[in-house]
Structure 1
């Protein structure tokens, strides 16, 4: 039916062109951003899920950095105690040698000189071992180092994912044992050397104990990091499934909607020409 006021063909073509243009704009936006969800209107439920997963993934990424820093800090302390161990081995050698009465006064003086120097280096390691700008073991003038209190490490994205490490007791035992090495020397004769042997042995036991604690926590952090990496990878995969655009699909949609919009424009032009047909009938 030909009418002057209502052109149903033009209206239908216009609506089709608008729908194609809207779908084309959506496909182009997704191809431009690489994301399927660019606003809440695209997928309200998907956006909520993706936001939660993104927050979790970001938290786990920061936690991975926390684990790396915590591991580095404890490895610094463990490395310091490794050197303390080496010094104590040499001090035990000197004490064993001093416990023998084949030494004369000059020998004992030489042994004591080296023993004193090693004690000074022990004090230097315990006082100056630092991580960043903070002393780890014992600060200057006996100030408390970082490991003298309980430490908490955030090893995950949630409130409950924490690791608490308390080495204060073991470190106190080490400080006490090392303090006994300076209380008396090994130059007082075989008996003095023999007594020092026991002190050095106790110091070695104390250092071995705290190194064991450090090693156990370092190993735990290694396993935590591996599990966290697995969790983060799978969370990112899930996030990508929900949020990321499928370029093959969106490219196909863009081509299809572009063709539909062009065909709608052509049909609209044809429909608008129907008015001329009416005028032709009147003339």
Structure 2
């Protein structure tokens, strides 16, 4: 076995230093994985895993936004439905007034008083129609989500029609609820027994139409609720799959970290020993 006594080249120390640098890099990686909880903190940690995780993260983010879109849609429809409930209550009162006015025992003064209340209720219907808004958009005056211009909810992650839901919301103003043929000066009137009898039929027809509008809105709300549940389930499962790729196995990572610390300490000790090998040359010169 030959001995290499060289001052200019300490091969043992160089080899140990190279190994020590590798261990130090591994320790730094372990520090990052343990402190962040992520096994993949950059593409260098796992190029394929990083690419897959980014795709999954993008899809999860899109799914979560779709959930928010659907929930906003539900809130909008609930706003419209709540206003329609108020109009239904008004129509029920109007129906009662019309039935009262249709009775032959009411004199002209009685009919005039009943008609004043009847018109005031219709003004309130118009007020609800004009003032019911969601995100500054008027919902019930016919200018929003009409049959010719439905509102479209984006309820999934792609740009196809499968990810979209079109919704229409009917106008509920006096002019929309009642046929123009039964209106006098833009109002339903009950100033006579005949007009009151006509009003009964008109109000009951409006109640039927309004009930149908509310049923349609309720059906869309149900669909959106099911959509939210499905999207949340999909997002949760995809998030779990992404976590298995990117999250740190803390027990395994700490075990490796402990091994690397031992290797670092041993490497430093061996480097110190290797650095002393050139001292042997001095003994030859004594």
TM-score, with length taken from structure 1: 0.90
Residue 263 of structure 2 aligns with which residue? 260
Q: State the Cα deviation string for residues 185-235 of structure 1 (Å, max 9, x = none).
A: 11122x221111111111111111111111111111111111111111111
Higher helix share: 1
Residue 55 of structure 2 aligns with which residue? 52
Question: SS at the partner of 2:145?
Answer: helix
Residue 271 of structure 1 aligns with which residue? 274
**1: CA distance, partners of 2:158 / 2:281:** 73
Question: SS at the partner of 2:278?
Answer: helix
Residue 153 of structure 2 aligns with which residue? 153
1:1-283 alignment, distance < 5 Å: 1-5=2-6, 7-138=10-141, 144-148=142-146, 149-160=149-160, 161-167=163-169, 170-171=170-171, 175-178=175-178, 180=180, 182-183=183-184, 184-189=188-193, 191-283=194-286
Shift of 1:77: 0.6
Q: Rate the CA distance shift 1:187–1:39 in 2: closer, same or farther, 3 A.
A: same
TM-score, with length taken from structure 2: 0.89
Q: Give the superposed CA RMSD.
A: 2.0
**2: CA distance, partners of 1:134 / 1:173:** 16
Shift of 1:85: 0.5
Shift of 1:47: 0.7
- Asked if 1 retains the 8 angstrom alpha-carbon contact of 2:114 and 2:190, the reply is yes
**1: CA distance, partners of 2:86 / 2:4:** 100
Question: SS at the partner of 2:166?
Answer: strand
Residue 141 of structure 1 aligns with which residue? none
- Asked if 2 retains the 8 angstrom alpha-carbon contact of 1:10 and 1:268, the reply is yes
Shift of 1:179: 5.5
**2: CA distance, partners of 1:174 / 1:229:** 41
Gaps of 5+ in 2: none
Q: What is the aligned residue count? A: 275
- Asked if 2 retains the 8 angstrom alpha-carbon contact of 1:174 and 1:206, the reply is no
**2: CA distance, partners of 1:222 / 1:175:** 33
Gaps of 5+ in 1: 139-143
- Asked if 2 retains the 8 angstrom alpha-carbon contact of 1:174 and 1:207, the reply is no
- Asked if 1 retains the 8 angstrom alpha-carbon contact of 2:97 and 2:114, the reply is yes
- Asked if 2 retains the 8 angstrom alpha-carbon contact of 1:71 and 1:221, the reply is yes
Shift of 1:39: 1.6
**2: CA distance, partners of 1:91 / 1:162:** 39
Shift of 1:57: 1.0
Question: SS at the partner of 1:146?
Answer: coil
